[in-house]
Amino acid sequence: RQPLFILLLFVSAGILIVNSVMPFFTLEDDVKMLNECGLATLLISGALLAVWTAGTSITADIEGKTAMTLLSKPINRRQFILGKYVGIVQAVIWMFVILTAIFSVLIFFKVGYDQRERAEEISPRWQWTEVAGVELPFPHPDRTRVIAQVLPGVALAFLQVCVLGAIAVTAATRLPMVMNLVVCFAVFVIGNLTEVIVNRSVAGEANESVTFMARLISLVMPSLSAFNVSSAVATGRVVPPDYLASSTLYALAY
């Protein structure tokens, strides 16, 4: 019922389409930039949806006394919070499914365009394969290979949104929506910089107190940089399954 979902969906889809036709001037390597910008678009739109929905639904229910009506039924506080969180994650899943489908189609066509710019042999869009005696068209492996490399990055971006959504739901039980947005924005920024802060403080032989504070921040804040593999995906690296598994366990803990 919230117009924010439709608004974010159309804005994000428009950004993806614009990125697919906009020249990045990367010396004939625009697919990598499209992959990185697309993953960033999915992450930001999903995070905005999760944080905003947590603030508007939970905080509004508490301030409007709707939560008291619910909790007077055979529903405890834990069920109320978990139900809200599951509903937010479901909305994020739908947004990711739609945007990932659009993103995959854009990559599918962008690969051929990039090959033409590099004066290479353009991979055909379809490969005819015989199945049960019938010739059926399937997407060409050269194009689907690029899409398959992006999907782990999409999954990790979704896990990062789930962690931010959990923090937003927790903060929404005690803070108004504006403060919730500020807290989640701070967690998002610091969480993506914790690894850099610790590495710089240790490698640079910084003051002992600076190193202690850096490690304390990394201990308290979630290491969201663990879910950010857009650079690796953009350079064509394959995210190993064990990394996906460990990141999933880390997200489940939060």
CA distance 183 to 160: 16
3-state secondary structure of 126: strand
Mean pLDDT of the 212-226 span? 81
- In this prediction, residues 204-227 reach a mean pLDDT of 77
Map tokens 């301030």 to a residue. Answer: 63
Angle formed at CA 82 by CA 76 and CA 87, multiple of 5 degrees: 125
Q: How many angstroms separate the CA atoms of 163 and 252, rounded?
A: 8
The burial of 25, by beta-carbon neighbours within 10 Å (0-12 exposed, 13-18 middle, 19 or more buried), is given as: exposed
Whether residue 102 contacts residue 16, with contact meaning beta carbons closer than 8 Å, is answered with yes
Position 92 scores a pLDDT of 94
For the chain, give the mean pLDDT: 82
State pLDDT tens for residues 154-172. Answer: 999 999 999 999 999 998 8
Long-range pairs, 185-190, Cβ under 8 A, ≥24: 187/221, 187/222, 187/224, 188/47, 188/164, 188/224, 190/217, 190/221
For the chain, the straight-line distance linking the first and the last C-alpha, in angstroms and rounded, comes to: 28
What's the token pair of residue 200?
Answer: 């710089």
The pLDDT of residue 1 is above 90: no
* Cα separation, 49 vs 1, whole angstroms: 13
The whole-number average pLDDT for the span 225-252 is 84
Q: 23: which 2 tokens?
A: 């020249």
Tell me the average pLDDT across 121-146.
Answer: 71
pTM of the model: 0.84
Query: Tens digit of pLDDT for each residue in 11-40?
Result: 999 999 998 888 766 666 777 788 888 899
Query: Largest alpha-carbon pair distance within the chain?
Result: 71
| pLDDT tens digits, 171-201 | 888 888 888 889 999 999 888 887 777 776 6
Q: What pLDDT score was predicted for residue 24?
A: 67
104 phi/psi in degrees, rounded to 5 = -65, -40
Question: In which band, very low, low, confident or very high, does the pLDDT at 47 lie, cut at 50, 70 and 90?
Answer: very high
